[in-house]
A and B are shown apart, each in its own frame.
Chain A
Amino acid sequence: MDELIGDDGAPRPVAAALMQLIDSLGTETLVERQQVAELDILTMGITFTVYSDGQNIDRAWPFDIIPRVIPGDEWDRVTAGLAQRLRALNMFIDDLYNDQRVIADGVFPPDLLEASVNFRPQCRGVHPKHGVWAHISGSDLVRDDDGVMYVLEDNLRVPSGVSYVLENRAVAKRAFAELFARQQIRPVDGYTHELKKLLISLAPDGISDPQLAVLTPGIYNSAYFEHSFLAQRMGAELVEGADLVVESDDCVYMRTIAGLERVHVVYRRIDDLFLDPEVFRPDSTLGVAGLMRAWKAGNVGLANAPGAGVADDKVVYAWVPDLIRYYLGEDQLIPNVPTYRTMYPDERQFVIDNIGDLVVKPANESGGYGIVIGDRASREQLDGVLAAIEADPRNWVAQPILSLSTVPTLVPCDGHGFEVEPRHVDLRPFVLTGAGSYVTPGGLTRVALPKGSLVVNSSQGGGSKDTWVIDGVFDDGYR
């Protein structure tokens, strides 16, 4: 199905004003606006970094001018569902590192925890503020042919993309100024303010004006643009591991030209295993020796908390409906995609028998790597993934092939010029969880640019769109 156009070929009510404008502009003017938008992106320096031919290349962020639109009332339900989901997942993480009631009560199998590569025993017994571990998360949503929005996966470690939500909006506002004047499109700019408030709330007790820092792996990291963007927007310091030091008082300091200055909260964009060579990988040069000591002593707030990734796992995903029921006594507000766990013989057999109709995913990869889509893979690829499942059944899950919804997108014609064609999209809203919850209005819409493709990752040729959550009454057309 298409997000903007109904089955009858007419624009959906929420997209009526947008489609009317696009039709009246004509392709030529639309292409001009697209080119202006691309120039804006170049001038503003909105980039992402790809690793190619042995070096890191700064590339202009790919952006398609035609937005995805979502009615406000639908988004309110999604917001409630995501807030619920992250509340439950955080209670689950906090439980795993403390009492493990969920296991004692027979809800979550203990062998899953034992086999988890993202469980950090070093974090046992820690009580982060608000009982929250995954403060910043991004959940990927897809809409199937049945019109239902499903959660495809949760990213609880260091999800990226939110900077592009804000920058896409800045570009889209210029491209479609007339629509922003006439419609109630929910602003997305508040995110960094909400993030700042959340980080401040993680400061050690008694610190009223905490020093915030964003910890980046460095200037060649693929998400460096975002790390810099967030530091800019929050007035935080952007630090690399070598800028920080933990002294014998178990406090974190940064090296300034005036000497060492205390840091109270670190928004770390480095994976757990590189965070602290004293505790995790001893050869890591990206992290800060002693950071875990400082965190456990309550002298620094860390977001996300180390170990939060234990619930960021395509196997744990399958238990989320149970976890929501267990911790909150509620039914899941946004459904999961049905997920087959190859660790169980009966579900594994189902996957083996139906592999051509399933998407098979490694449990702990991100960025779309390692995914095999049954009806598009060669026999060799399928045999390869079946062998991999046999070898390590816990590391795989399988789901039915969803047909991702589409949004009209400006794409090159075969011969020359451009045309507007439907392309598949997903959506990554970002969720902040602290004392309360905040969900971005909309999120990052990623679009698979080649015809028929379902791969939306920007590292693999995907593009992006602005996402408009529009308030108003749409059943009798636009008003």
Chain B
Amino acid sequence: MALLARVAERLYWAARYIERAEDTSRIIRAYHDLVVDFPGTVMLRWEPLAAIAGSSIAVDPTIDASGEMTVLRFLIADRRNAGSVASCVAAARENLRTTREVIPREAWQVVNSLSHAVDSSAESAVGRQSRDRFLSRVVDDSRRLDGILDSTMTRANPYRLFRLGRLIERADMTTRVLGVRAAALLQLQAAGVEPLSDEVQWMGVLRSVSALQMYQRATKAPITGEAVVRYLLFYASFPRSVQSCLDEVRSALVALPSPQDVLAVLDETQEALDAAQPLASDGHALDDAMDLLQLAIADLDHAVHARFGVAEH
């Protein structure tokens, strides 16, 4: 089945954008959980969230309450921020609108409906009252899209390009969720506070990637930071672990035409993952390890783009 290079590029971006919308929603929920669960007197600040989501924003550090609204408007509703949930959903819709001939009609309708819903409700989702419902809709529709593609899309090159976009974005996201945790640790250390209820907070991390229940079944021991980090990076049987994403990237790539150059870069990404041995209790170590891994994943993205995008021609 033929796949135009231009269409390949749009499919890849559609997948990355919808996954990014989902993942940004997950990160916001995870950080929100940390904030409300935090048992001490130290207020967690919201700006690191923007940095973790790949954006930077200036917030007056003296006004924590307005900081929350400013950061969340930036991350959820601000169309000038290309990484906001609203922008990502709109970009996913536009990329799918222009690749409708290769994707199932129902798949388009999910993202189209979501886009209309986001247009009308993103602004009101900035506040705490309806935030969770909004973010859950984004996450749920993103997964519904995958369900439709899984059950109705031919396993051919268009499907594989979409999968590549999904998996590369997802691997990146899992490292960023761990980055959220690192940021919280750093803030606590800076405030001179010993992390209490460590287990509760790591449960929140697992929940943010829908991994808690599967983690409990896979790991008999009590929840520790060390084990959670290892699980989310290396546990290949869990589909949101970085290792699982890289394995699936590999199986999608080998079925695509002439993937050698990309496979070579994937080997390097795998080496970077193997080399990551972060200390879960050390915010700096975790942060640094995730940064390195994100750079390796970015190289993989560039390689996919160079091989299958229109730039090559």
CA distance A255 to B8 in the complex (A): 11
Q: Are B100 and A256 in touch, CB under 8 angstroms?
A: no
Given contacts A237-B4, A242-B6, A256-B5, contact A228 B101 (CB under 8 A): yes
CA distance A38 to B213 in the complex (A): 42
Given contacts A231-B101, A240-B6, contact A257 B112 (CB under 8 A): no
Residue numbers in A under 8 Å from B310 (CB-CB): 255
Q: Are A257 and B157 in touch, CB under 8 angstroms?
A: yes
Given contacts A43-B113, A45-B112, A255-B313, contact A239 B4 (CB under 8 A): yes
* Set B8, B101, B108: member contacting A257, Cβ < 8 A: B8
Question: With an 8 A cutoff between CB atoms, is B116 at the interface?
Answer: yes
Question: With an 8 A cutoff between CB atoms, is B254 at the interface?
Answer: no
A34 to chain B, nearest CB (A): 18
Given contacts A237-B2, A242-B6, contact A257 B257 (CB under 8 A): yes
Q: Are A256 and B97 in touch, CB under 8 angstroms?
A: no
CA distance A407 to B112 in the complex (A): 32
Question: With an 8 A cutoff between CB atoms, is B105 at the interface?
Answer: yes
CA distance A416 to B196 in the complex (A): 61
Question: With an 8 A cutoff between CB atoms, is B308 at the interface?
Answer: yes
Residue numbers in B under 8 Å from A387 (CB-CB): none
Question: With an 8 A cutoff between CB atoms, is B3 at the interface?
Answer: yes
| Residue of A45, A229, A238, A261 most packed against chain B (CB within 10 A) | A45
Q: Are A45 and B6 in touch, CB under 8 angstroms?
A: no
Q: Are A45 and B101 in touch, CB under 8 angstroms?
A: no
Question: With an 8 A cutoff between CB atoms, is A258 at the interface?
Answer: yes
Question: With an 8 A cutoff between CB atoms, is A29 at the interface?
Answer: no
CA distance A224 to B157 in the complex (A): 24
Question: With an 8 A cutoff between CB atoms, is A126 at the interface?
Answer: no
Which B198-235 residues have a C-beta within 8 angstroms of A? none
Question: Which B-chain residue is minimally distant from A258 (CB atoms)?
Answer: B257
CA distance A186 to B87 in the complex (A): 43
B255 to chain A, nearest CB (A): 12
* Set B100, B257, B258: member contacting A228, Cβ < 8 A: B100
B157 to chain A, nearest CB (A): 6
Q: Are A238 and B308 in touch, CB under 8 angstroms?
A: no
Residue numbers in B under 8 Å from A236 (CB-CB): 101
Question: With an 8 A cutoff between CB atoms, is A184 at the interface?
Answer: no
Q: Is the interface of B mostly helix, strand, loop or mixed?
A: helix
Given contacts A42-B116, A45-B97, A228-B101, contact A256 B2 (CB under 8 A): yes
B142 to chain A, nearest CB (A): 17
B270 to chain A, nearest CB (A): 23
Residue numbers in A under 8 Å from B307 (CB-CB): 257
Question: With an 8 A cutoff between CB atoms, is A437 at the interface?
Answer: no
Residue numbers in A under 8 Å from B257 (CB-CB): 257-259
Question: With an 8 A cutoff between CB atoms, is A243 at the interface?
Answer: yes
The number of chain B residues with a CB under 8 A from chain A is: 26
CA distance A259 to B308 in the complex (A): 10
Residue numbers in A under 8 Å from B2 (CB-CB): 211, 237, 254, 256, 258, 261
Question: With an 8 A cutoff between CB atoms, is A366 at the interface?
Answer: no
B107 to chain A, nearest CB (A): 11
Question: With an 8 A cutoff between CB atoms, is B42 at the interface?
Answer: no
Question: With an 8 A cutoff between CB atoms, is B69 at the interface?
Answer: no
Which A238-256 residues have a C-beta within 8 angstroms of B? 238-240, 242-243, 254-256
Question: With an 8 A cutoff between CB atoms, is B256 at the interface?
Answer: yes
CA distance A259 to B97 in the complex (A): 24
Residue numbers in B under 8 Å from A258 (CB-CB): 2-3, 157, 257-258
Question: With an 8 A cutoff between CB atoms, is B56 at the interface?
Answer: no
Which A35-56 residues have a C-beta within 8 angstroms of B? 42-45
B284 to chain A, nearest CB (A): 42
* Set A43, A224, A243: member contacting B4, Cβ < 8 A: A243
A388 to chain B, nearest CB (A): 40
Given contacts A44-B109, A45-B112, A232-B105, contact A257 B5 (CB under 8 A): yes
Question: With an 8 A cutoff between CB atoms, is A103 at the interface?
Answer: no
Chain A residues with a Cβ under 8 A of chain B: 42-45, 58, 211, 219, 224, 228-229, 231-232, 236-240, 242-243, 254-259, 261
23 contacts between A and B (CB under 8 A): A42-B112, A42-B113, A42-B116, A43-B112, A43-B116, A45-B108, A45-B109, A211-B2, A219-B98, A228-B98, A232-B100, A232-B101, A232-B105, A237-B2, A238-B7, A240-B6, A243-B4, A254-B4, A255-B310, A256-B4, A257-B157, A257-B256, A258-B257
Chain B residues with a Cβ under 8 A of chain A: 2-8, 97-98, 100-101, 105, 108-109, 112-113, 116, 157, 161, 256-258, 307-308, 310, 313
Q: List the 8 closest pairs (A to B, CB-CB), nearest first.
A: A231-B101, A258-B257, A45-B112, A238-B101, A219-B98, A256-B2, A232-B101, A228-B100
A-B contacts besides A43-B109, A237-B4, A257-B256, 11 pairs, CB < 8 Å: A43-B112, A44-B112, A228-B98, A228-B100, A229-B100, A236-B101, A239-B4, A258-B3, A258-B257, A259-B257, A261-B2
